[in-house]
Amino acid sequence: MRRKASLTLLACAVFCAALAPLLRWYAFPRLARIPANQYQDMVLEARGATLLDYGTMRAKKVSRVTIVQTLKGNVEAARSIERTAGRPVVVWDSLSYVQGPDGKMVSRVPERYIFDAHSQAPVHATGESVDGDPVRRDGIEFKWPFLTQRRDYEYFDAQTRTTSPIHYQGTRNFRGLEVYYFEQTVPWTKVPMPKTMPVQGITPESVARTGTTRWYTTVRRFWVEPVTGAPVYGEEIHREELRGGTLLGGRAKVTAFSGHVKMREDYIEHTVALVRHNRTLVLALTSYAPWGSLAVGLLLLGLSLALEARARRPRDPTPAQPQEPEPVSA
C-alpha cells in the first residue's frame, strides 16, 4: 500500500516539475497580451506655457495648455492583419488633441500604431500612419515590452517620424513601485505642419507657399514599471518654432509652443492602481505559479522517497510463542 502511494506522489511530483517551465515559457507568451479592444485615455497639462496666437502671429504666455491622448483598439483591423502576419496583433488608433486655455483646438494629430500583442514589437502593415502620412516604425511607442530590461530601447517619435534610442537612466521608486527611468532627447528637427490647423483657411500647403517651416525639439521622460512594461508617469519639455518665410513678417522665428508637459494628478493615480493590478497578474505567470509549482513538486518528491524508504524497511520477526507442555499420563 505504501509503495502505491509512493508511486502516486512521484507521478504528481513529475507533473508539477514539468508544469513550472510550461507556465513560464509556453503559457506566459500566449496569455500575457495587450487586449485587441483596449481603450484608454490620458490627460497631460503644461502650466505657464507659451503658445502662438495665429491671429496676430505673436507668442504669448497662457495659464495652461491641455493635451488629451486617446488609444482605441481596432479589433477588425487587427484580425485582418493577423491573417497575413501569423501572430497576434494589436491596432491602436490614437489621437493627440491639444487645446488652449479657452478650450479651443490648437492641433489634432491622429495615428495608427500596429504592434505585436505580446512583445510590443512593431508590425508593418497597410494603414500604419501619423497624421495621415504612411510611416514605418522601427521602435516601440507608448508601451515597453513585458519584463522590461535595464537597457536602452529604440523609441519612435511621431513628430519627426524617426526612431532613436531612449536611454535607461537607472532604477527609481515612484509611488511605492520600483520603476525604470528612461530619457530621450530629440534635437531641433524640421517637422511637417499638422494637417488640421487652428485657423480656418490655413493649411500646410498655404504655409509652405510662404516659405515658413516648423521646427521641434523635446526631452522625453518615462517612469516604466518593468514587469508590465507600462509607463506609470511621463513628461516632456516640449518646444516648437516657426521659422523664416513671409508669414512671420520678416522675423527669423517665433515660438509656436513651449512648455513642460506633465500627466495630470488624477490620471497618475488611476494609472498606478491599474499597473499594480496588472503587475500581479504578470507575476503570477512568470514567478508565483512556476516557482510554486516547482516547490510543490519537490515536496511531493520528498514524501514519495520517504514512503518508498519505509516500504523497503525489513519488518521485525514475530517472536515465537511458548508452547504449553502436554500432560503426561501415568
Specify whether the CB–CB gap between 154 and 163 falls below 8 A: yes
Q: What is the largest CA-CA distance in the chain?
A: 152
Average pLDDT by consecutive 10-residue portion of the chain (330 residues)? 71 85 87 92 95 88 95 95 92 95 91 95 94 93 95 96 97 96 97 88 87 96 97 96 90 94 95 95 91 86 77 60 57
Domains of the chain by residue range: 2-21+289-312, 32-263
How many angstroms separate the first and last alpha carbons of the chain? 55
Q: What residues have CB less than 8 Å from 186, skipping those under 6 apart?
A: 157, 159, 160, 164, 216, 217, 218, 219, 220
136 vs 293: CA distance, rounded Å:
43
Residue 323 confidence (pLDDT): 59
pLDDT at 330: 44
d(CA 254, CA 165): 29
Cα(39)–Cα(36) distance, rounded to whole angstroms?
A: 9
Q: What predicted TM-score, i.e. pTM, was given to this entire model? A: 0.88
- Distance of alpha carbon 193 from alpha carbon 245, whole angstroms: 14
**pLDDT value of residue 8:** 80
Q: For residue 318, what pLDDT is reported?
A: 55
Give residue 317's pLDDT: 56
User: In this predicted structure, what is the pLDDT of residue 57?
Assistant: 86
Q: How far, in Å, CA of 66 to CA of 63, rounded?
A: 10
Contact 135, 159 (CB under 8 A): no
